[in-house]
Amino acid sequence: MDLKVAIVIPSYNSEQFLAQTVDSAAKQTYNNCDIYIYDNQSTDNSLQIARNLEQSHEKVKVFEIENLY
C-alpha cells in the first residue's frame, strides 16, 4: 500500500529560493506525493513564482493565507 505524502512549503518573501525548493521536492524518488505551497501574503514575487510552478508541476497546489502577524 502506497501512502500519500504531502510536502508543505510555507512561503513569505521567498522568491530567491522557492523554485529551487519546489524542484527539489518534485525530484524526490517517492512519487505518491503532492506539494502544497502556502504563501503568507508575500510582498515580493513569491506568489507569482508559486503560481508559475503550479502550472508547470502537476503535483503543486498553491494557497494564499492571511498574514497572522
Domain boundaries, given as residue ranges, for the chain: 16-33+46-57
Cβ–Cβ under 8 Å, residues 16 and 49: no
State the pLDDT at residue 69: 62
Residue 25 bridge partners (DSSP): none
Cβ–Cβ under 8 Å, residues 17 and 45: no
Which residue's C-alpha cell is 521536492?
25
Could you report the per-residue pLDDT of 10-65, keeping only the tens digit for each? 999 999 999 999 999 999 999 899 999 999 999 999 999 999 999 999 999 999 99
Cβ–Cβ under 8 Å, residues 39 and 50: yes
